[in-house]
Amino acid sequence: MITVHIQYFAILREQRGLARETLATPAPTAVALYEELRARHGFTLPPDRVRAAINEEFVAWDTPLREGQSVVFIPPVAGG
Amino acid sequence: MFRISAEPLDPAALQRTLADTHAGACVTFEGWVRDHNEGHPVLALDYEAYAPLAEKEGARILAEARAKFAIRGAVCVHRVGALNLGDLAVWVGVTAAHRGAAFDACRYLIDETKARAPIWKKEHYADSATAWINCATRGDHADRVKI
Protein backbone atom coordinates (compact mmCIF):
# COMPACT_ATOMS: atom_id res chain seq x y z
CA MET A 1 0.00 0.00 0.00
CA ILE A 2 1.07 3.55 -0.69
CA THR A 3 -0.40 6.82 0.46
CA VAL A 4 -1.36 9.45 -2.11
CA HIS A 5 -3.00 12.86 -1.94
CA ILE A 6 -5.96 13.25 -4.28
CA GLN A 7 -7.71 16.44 -5.38
CA TYR A 8 -11.09 16.37 -7.11
CA PHE A 9 -12.52 18.95 -9.47
CA ALA A 10 -15.83 19.65 -11.18
CA ILE A 11 -18.06 16.61 -11.73
CA LEU A 12 -15.64 14.30 -9.90
CA ARG A 13 -15.60 16.61 -6.86
CA GLU A 14 -19.40 16.54 -6.76
CA GLN A 15 -19.64 12.78 -7.27
CA ARG A 16 -16.99 12.16 -4.59
CA GLY A 17 -18.56 14.70 -2.26
CA LEU A 18 -15.29 16.31 -1.27
CA ALA A 19 -12.43 18.27 -2.82
CA ARG A 20 -9.43 16.41 -1.46
CA GLU A 21 -8.43 13.36 0.52
CA THR A 22 -5.36 11.39 1.52
CA LEU A 23 -5.75 7.73 0.78
CA ALA A 24 -3.90 4.44 1.23
CA THR A 25 -4.22 2.38 -1.93
CA PRO A 26 -2.90 -0.84 -3.42
CA ALA A 27 -3.30 0.64 -6.93
CA PRO A 28 -0.02 0.34 -8.86
CA THR A 29 -0.92 2.90 -11.53
CA ALA A 30 -2.97 6.05 -12.05
CA VAL A 31 -5.63 4.20 -14.02
CA ALA A 32 -5.89 1.48 -11.36
CA LEU A 33 -6.46 4.15 -8.72
CA TYR A 34 -9.13 5.79 -10.88
CA GLU A 35 -10.90 2.46 -11.36
CA GLU A 36 -10.72 1.78 -7.62
CA LEU A 37 -12.30 5.16 -6.85
CA ARG A 38 -14.81 4.89 -9.67
CA ALA A 39 -16.04 1.56 -8.32
CA ARG A 40 -16.26 2.94 -4.77
CA HIS A 41 -17.91 6.27 -5.55
CA GLY A 42 -19.83 5.66 -8.76
CA PHE A 43 -17.99 8.10 -10.99
CA THR A 44 -19.90 8.26 -14.27
CA LEU A 45 -16.94 9.06 -16.49
CA PRO A 46 -15.02 6.09 -17.89
CA PRO A 47 -11.21 6.34 -17.84
CA ASP A 48 -11.04 7.11 -21.55
CA ARG A 49 -12.85 10.43 -20.89
CA VAL A 50 -10.53 11.40 -18.05
CA ARG A 51 -6.85 12.33 -17.84
CA ALA A 52 -4.46 11.93 -14.93
CA ALA A 53 -2.02 14.41 -13.45
CA ILE A 54 0.67 13.60 -10.91
CA ASN A 55 2.50 16.34 -9.02
CA GLU A 56 0.95 19.02 -11.24
CA GLU A 57 1.83 17.47 -14.61
CA PHE A 58 -0.27 15.43 -17.06
CA VAL A 59 0.83 11.79 -17.13
CA ALA A 60 -0.08 8.66 -19.08
CA TRP A 61 -2.71 6.43 -17.48
CA ASP A 62 -0.23 3.58 -16.93
CA THR A 63 2.17 5.78 -14.94
CA PRO A 64 3.20 4.02 -11.70
CA LEU A 65 2.09 5.65 -8.45
CA ARG A 66 4.62 6.40 -5.76
CA GLU A 67 4.35 7.18 -2.06
CA GLY A 68 3.28 10.72 -1.24
CA GLN A 69 2.39 11.87 -4.73
CA SER A 70 -0.37 14.38 -5.50
CA VAL A 71 -2.87 12.90 -7.93
CA VAL A 72 -5.59 14.74 -9.83
CA PHE A 73 -8.06 13.22 -12.26
CA ILE A 74 -9.04 15.64 -15.03
CA PRO A 75 -12.59 15.31 -16.36
CA PRO A 76 -13.30 16.72 -19.84
CA VAL A 77 -12.35 20.39 -19.78
CA ALA A 78 -14.56 23.29 -20.82
CA GLY A 79 -12.83 26.62 -20.40
CA GLY A 80 -13.65 29.71 -22.40
CA MET B 1 1.48 35.54 -19.16
CA PHE B 2 -1.27 32.99 -18.49
CA ARG B 3 -3.17 33.30 -15.26
CA ILE B 4 -6.22 31.96 -13.44
CA SER B 5 -8.06 34.74 -11.60
CA ALA B 6 -10.64 34.56 -8.85
CA GLU B 7 -11.17 38.31 -9.21
CA PRO B 8 -13.06 40.12 -12.00
CA LEU B 9 -10.93 40.86 -15.06
CA ASP B 10 -10.07 44.44 -16.06
CA PRO B 11 -9.57 44.50 -19.83
CA ALA B 12 -8.09 48.01 -19.90
CA ALA B 13 -5.50 47.13 -17.27
CA LEU B 14 -4.67 43.87 -19.03
CA GLN B 15 -4.26 45.65 -22.34
CA ARG B 16 -1.91 48.20 -20.77
CA THR B 17 0.45 45.34 -19.83
CA LEU B 18 0.89 44.73 -23.57
CA ALA B 19 1.91 48.31 -24.42
CA ASP B 20 4.76 48.12 -26.95
CA THR B 21 5.88 50.74 -29.46
CA HIS B 22 7.28 48.00 -31.73
CA ALA B 23 3.76 46.57 -32.11
CA GLY B 24 1.50 47.72 -34.92
CA ALA B 25 -1.42 45.49 -33.96
CA CYS B 26 -3.20 44.44 -30.80
CA VAL B 27 -5.94 41.81 -31.11
CA THR B 28 -8.04 40.98 -28.06
CA PHE B 29 -10.69 38.37 -27.43
CA GLU B 30 -13.26 38.48 -24.64
CA GLY B 31 -15.28 35.41 -23.70
CA TRP B 32 -18.59 36.46 -22.09
CA VAL B 33 -21.15 34.49 -20.14
CA ARG B 34 -24.01 33.83 -22.58
CA ASP B 35 -27.67 33.36 -21.70
CA HIS B 36 -28.13 30.12 -23.63
CA ASN B 37 -26.36 26.94 -24.66
CA GLU B 38 -27.74 24.45 -27.18
CA GLY B 39 -31.24 25.80 -26.76
CA HIS B 40 -31.22 25.81 -22.96
CA PRO B 41 -31.67 29.16 -21.17
CA VAL B 42 -28.62 29.72 -18.95
CA LEU B 43 -28.83 31.86 -15.81
CA ALA B 44 -25.27 31.72 -14.51
CA LEU B 45 -22.00 29.79 -14.69
CA ASP B 46 -19.50 28.43 -12.23
CA TYR B 47 -15.93 28.04 -13.41
CA GLU B 48 -13.30 26.09 -11.58
CA ALA B 49 -9.72 25.29 -12.45
CA TYR B 50 -6.83 23.17 -11.32
CA ALA B 51 -4.81 26.36 -11.25
CA PRO B 52 -1.21 25.10 -11.00
CA LEU B 53 -1.61 22.81 -13.99
CA ALA B 54 -3.81 25.26 -15.92
CA GLU B 55 -1.09 27.90 -15.61
CA LYS B 56 1.63 25.42 -16.67
CA GLU B 57 -0.40 24.28 -19.66
CA GLY B 58 -1.21 27.91 -20.44
CA ALA B 59 2.49 28.76 -20.43
CA ARG B 60 3.07 25.94 -22.92
CA ILE B 61 0.28 27.25 -25.16
CA LEU B 62 1.78 30.74 -25.06
CA ALA B 63 5.21 29.33 -25.96
CA GLU B 64 3.68 27.44 -28.89
CA ALA B 65 2.00 30.62 -30.13
CA ARG B 66 5.31 32.47 -29.95
CA ALA B 67 6.96 29.71 -32.00
CA LYS B 68 4.19 29.59 -34.61
CA PHE B 69 3.40 33.28 -35.09
CA ALA B 70 5.48 36.47 -35.29
CA ILE B 71 4.01 38.03 -32.17
CA ARG B 72 5.47 40.35 -29.53
CA GLY B 73 3.30 40.04 -26.45
CA ALA B 74 0.57 37.62 -25.37
CA VAL B 75 -1.65 37.44 -22.31
CA CYS B 76 -4.47 35.09 -21.37
CA VAL B 77 -6.40 35.33 -18.11
CA HIS B 78 -9.30 33.05 -17.19
CA ARG B 79 -11.80 33.64 -14.41
CA VAL B 80 -12.88 31.11 -11.83
CA GLY B 81 -15.81 31.38 -9.45
CA ALA B 82 -19.49 32.24 -9.82
CA LEU B 83 -20.17 34.36 -12.91
CA ASN B 84 -23.35 36.04 -14.06
CA LEU B 85 -24.68 36.72 -17.53
CA GLY B 86 -22.49 39.20 -19.36
CA ASP B 87 -19.49 38.70 -17.08
CA LEU B 88 -16.07 38.40 -18.63
CA ALA B 89 -14.90 34.77 -18.36
CA VAL B 90 -11.67 34.93 -20.35
CA TRP B 91 -9.52 37.67 -21.85
CA VAL B 92 -6.84 37.10 -24.49
CA GLY B 93 -4.62 39.83 -25.90
CA VAL B 94 -1.85 39.55 -28.48
CA THR B 95 0.45 42.19 -29.97
CA ALA B 96 2.48 41.89 -33.14
CA ALA B 97 4.21 44.09 -35.68
CA HIS B 98 1.42 43.22 -38.14
CA ARG B 99 -2.22 42.27 -37.70
CA GLY B 100 -2.14 38.84 -39.38
CA ALA B 101 0.03 37.24 -36.74
CA ALA B 102 -1.92 38.92 -33.95
CA PHE B 103 -5.27 37.60 -35.23
CA ASP B 104 -3.90 34.10 -35.82
CA ALA B 105 -2.18 33.86 -32.45
CA CYS B 106 -5.23 35.18 -30.59
CA ARG B 107 -7.39 32.50 -32.19
CA TYR B 108 -4.79 29.84 -31.40
CA LEU B 109 -4.57 30.88 -27.76
CA ILE B 110 -8.31 30.80 -27.07
CA ASP B 111 -8.85 27.57 -29.01
CA GLU B 112 -6.01 25.71 -27.29
CA THR B 113 -6.95 27.07 -23.87
CA LYS B 114 -10.51 25.80 -24.28
CA ALA B 115 -9.29 22.41 -25.47
CA ARG B 116 -6.42 21.78 -23.06
CA ALA B 117 -6.40 23.84 -19.88
CA PRO B 118 -7.91 22.06 -16.85
CA ILE B 119 -10.79 24.50 -16.46
CA TRP B 120 -14.41 23.41 -16.04
CA LYS B 121 -17.73 25.14 -16.56
CA LYS B 122 -21.00 24.34 -14.84
CA GLU B 123 -24.12 25.87 -16.31
CA HIS B 124 -27.15 26.76 -14.22
CA TYR B 125 -30.38 26.57 -16.18
CA ALA B 126 -33.72 28.30 -15.84
CA ASP B 127 -35.36 25.01 -14.81
CA SER B 128 -32.98 24.72 -11.81
CA ALA B 129 -30.94 21.95 -13.44
CA THR B 130 -27.18 22.23 -13.76
CA ALA B 131 -24.65 20.61 -16.06
CA TRP B 132 -20.90 20.23 -16.23
CA ILE B 133 -20.21 20.96 -19.89
CA ASN B 134 -18.51 18.15 -21.86
CA CYS B 135 -18.93 15.62 -19.03
CA ALA B 136 -21.83 13.53 -20.32
CA THR B 137 -21.22 9.84 -20.86
CA ARG B 138 -24.44 9.00 -22.67
CA GLY B 139 -27.75 10.44 -23.81
CA ASP B 140 -28.91 12.80 -26.51
CA HIS B 141 -26.70 15.67 -25.48
CA ALA B 142 -23.24 14.38 -26.20
CA ASP B 143 -21.50 17.07 -24.23
CA ARG B 144 -23.55 17.52 -21.09
CA VAL B 145 -24.65 15.61 -18.05
CA LYS B 146 -27.47 17.02 -15.99
CA ILE B 147 -27.29 16.59 -12.23
Residues B72-92 pLDDT 10s: 999 999 999 999 999 999 999
Which distant-in-sequence residues (6+ apart) come within 8 Å of A26 by Cβ?
A: A1
Residues A1-60 pLDDT 10s: 999 999 999 999 999 999 999 999 999 999 999 999 999 999 999 999 999 999 999 999
pLDDT, one tens digit for every residue, chain B (147 residues): 999 999 999 999 999 999 999 999 999 999 999 999 888 899 999 999 999 999 999 999 999 999 999 999 999 999 999 999 999 999 999 999 999 999 999 999 999 999 999 999 999 998 889 999 988 754 444 454 544
Taking CB atoms and an 8 Å limit, are A11 and B121 in contact across chains? no
pTM over 0.80: yes
Could you give the ipTM of this predicted complex?
0.95
Which of B54, B89, B137 comes nearest A44 by C-beta? B137
Taking CB atoms and an 8 Å limit, are A10 and B135 in contact across chains? yes
B131 shares contact with chain A (CB less than 8 Å) = no
A19 shares contact with chain B (CB less than 8 Å) = no
B90 shares contact with chain A (CB less than 8 Å) = yes
Contacts of A75 in chain B (CB under 8 A): 120, 132, 134-135
Query: Which among B96, B47, B56 has a CA at the least distance from the CA of A54?
Result: B56
Which distant-in-sequence residues (6+ apart) come within 8 Å of B48 by Cβ?
A: A9, A10, A13, B80, B119, B120, B122
- Please enumerate, as own/partner, the contacts of A21-30 that have beta carbons within 8 Å and a separation of 24 or more: A25/A1, A25/A65, A26/A1, A27/A65, A28/A64, A28/A65, A29/A61, A29/A62, A29/A63, A29/A64, A29/A65, A30/A54, A30/A59, A30/A60, A30/A61, A30/A62, A30/A63, A30/A65, A30/A71
